[in-house]
Structures are given as C-alpha cells and as structure tokens.
Structure 1
Amino acid sequence: MTATYTFRPMTAADLPLIRRWLGEAHVREWWGDPDEQLALVGVDLIEPAMDQFIVLAGDKPFGYLQCYRLTAWNSGFGPQPEGTRGIDQFIGEGDMIAHGHGSAFIRQFVDEQFRSGLPRMVTDPDPLNARALRAYEKAGFIRDRMVETPDGPALLMVREP
C-alpha cells in the first residue's frame, strides 16, 4: 500500500458520518452499541487529552482514529514512558476493508507522531479481533501482554520509535 493518508481533525460536523460508520456491522461488532459510542465520541470532542481524526484517502473520508494521553484514563496498561499515547481506530467504509489501508494509515500516523518526539504508542484491541491484530502487527506493533481494561480483557500492543 503506497497511498498517503490525511488525518483531518474531527469536528461536531463529522458526527453524522461517525454515526453512520458506527452502525456498520463490521464496526459495531467491535465497537458496540452505536448510540453509546457516538455519545462517547461526541463528549471526547472537548476532551483535551483526546485527539480525534477523520482519515482520508485522497479526498475520500473512510476511517476514524483517536489518539489519547494514557495519563488521562485508567487504562490498566501499567507503567509506560512519560508521553506515551494510545490509539484506537476503525475503517468505516466497507469497501476500504481488506485492501491494506488499516495497517498503512496506522503506520503513517504513528510514524508522524514519532517524528514529533512521541516515545511510544500503544493500543489494546480485543484479542479475538484478528483483522485488527494483523493490521497493528503490519503497522509495526508487537504483542506485549494481556491486560484488563474497563471494557474487558485486551491485548496490549506496543510500538517504539
């Protein structure tokens, strides 16, 4: 995948698009109730420790990415280097799945964060979400250990600069 992606800061005007994506079966399977998740995403628009982005391929919006300071949440990830951030993401447009976009845009985003001095990026996918695990591994993350999060058991994955 040689595409270049744009990460446009999300605004309240994007909430209808996010709502549509959250309602897609492939997103709902791992993100849960669309209304509940939309409320959380909406509140996070004013959370200073959370950055939210609409991911675009060319001029086509197709995904969502959130990047957050670990110190703002009780993540259950254990000690991490100061400044470590976490990410979560999904591809909302079904026709963009299984084409390598997930791992490619994750890698591009994390590489940009490392160039800005970020010491480590972590993520915590559901250990049964094989598609997410593959995407994160292809983006350079390694499996660290199982952790208990507020959402249940998760696989902590880590990427270093």
Structure 2
Amino acid sequence: MIEFRKLTAGDYPLLLKWLQRPHVKQYWNNGDDTLEKVAHHYALDKSQVQYYIAMQDNQDIGFYQYNLSNNRNIGIDMFLANADQLSQGLGTICLNAFGDFICKIKDCHSLSVDPHPDN
C-alpha cells in the first residue's frame, strides 16, 4: 500500500541523501547539495508548494510535491529514492496514488506531470 506523509524538517537529511543519488540528481538538480540549502529550499512555511514523502509498507520510498494553480490544475513532480525500484511500475502506482490522495484533500480540476523525455 502506498501512503504519503508531509515532509518535515526532520526529513531534510534523508532528502539531502536522496538528492545526491545519481538517478535523482540527473533530473532533479536544484543545487541542493548541503543540509542548509535543502532546509532553505524546502522550508515548509515559505512555500506554496506542498511536499510529501511517499511510503510503501511504512518504508520511505520517494519524494512527491504538488502546486495548485488558480484554475484548479495541480502540477506534480516526484522521484523514487531507490534506483533498484525504477522501471518496475512503482512510479506509476505511486503517481496514481498521489493523484487520488491530492484530489481527496483539494478541489482539483486536473492533474499534470511534466517529466523529462528521457526519464
């Protein structure tokens, strides 16, 4: 079962570790290479973007975020944390679960994801 929990400041070291992994950094490189940069970038009280940790069987497996625009469209970005879980359908399962999760808590009209063509 896939579940989501809000990102907390206590997750910043884990997020930093994930952001340094080659399969993540290749597509998600915001220059967040120190704990201070991660804390600044993902500060929960400074952003209109909502951040979540994806979990499978109570294990942290990925990072998901969404942003609600004025026209009720929700933009989603995400990554799976573990390279050995790629190309097995887990990303699609998590994305569908995240879409369902968001639409239960927000009034959304549409969801959009803009992946890199090589990803």
TM range (shorter): 0.7 to 0.9
User: In 2, are the aligned partners of 1:64 and 1:91 still within 8 Å (CA)?
Assistant: yes
Normalised to the residue count of structure 2, the TM-score between the two structures is: 0.83
Residue 5 (structure 1) aligns with: 2
Size of the alignment, in residue pairs?
Answer: 115
Residue 93 of structure 2 is aligned to residue 104 of structure 1? yes
Normalised to the residue count of structure 1, the TM-score between the two structures is: 0.63
Structure 2 CA distance, aligned partners of 1:55 and 1:18?
A: 12
User: In 1, are the aligned partners of 2:19 and 2:32 still within 8 Å (CA)?
Assistant: yes
Could you tell me which amino acid in structure 2 is paired with residue 19 of structure 1?
L
Residue 91 of structure 2 is aligned to residue 91 of structure 1? no
Partner of 1:31, secondary structure, is: coil
Identity %: 26
Structure 2 CA distance, aligned partners of 1:58 and 1:42?
A: 30
Residue 39 (structure 1) aligns with: 37
- What is the CA distance between 1:93 and its match in structure 2? 1.6
RCO greater where, 1 or 2, for CA within 8 Å and sep 6 or more?
2
Question: For 1:51-130, what aligned pairs fall within 5 Å after superposition?
Answer: 51-71=50-70, 82-116=71-105, 117-129=107-119
Structure 2 CA distance, aligned partners of 1:28 and 1:41?
A: 17
Residue 154 (structure 1) aligns with: none
> Which whole-Å deviations, capped at 9, do the CAs of 1:81-137 have from their partners, x for residues lacking one?
x221111000112222222110001001112333453111112222332xxxxxxxx
Q: Please, which runs of 5 or more residues in structure 2 have no aligned partner?
A: none
Could you tell me which amino acid in structure 2 is paired with residue 92 of structure 1?
A
Task: Kindly name which structure, 1 or 2, has the bigger radius of gyration based on alpha carbons.
Answer: 1
Structure 1 CA distance, aligned partners of 2:73 and 2:39?
A: 21
Partner of 1:66, secondary structure, is: strand
Q: More deviation in 9-18 or 40-49? A: 40-49
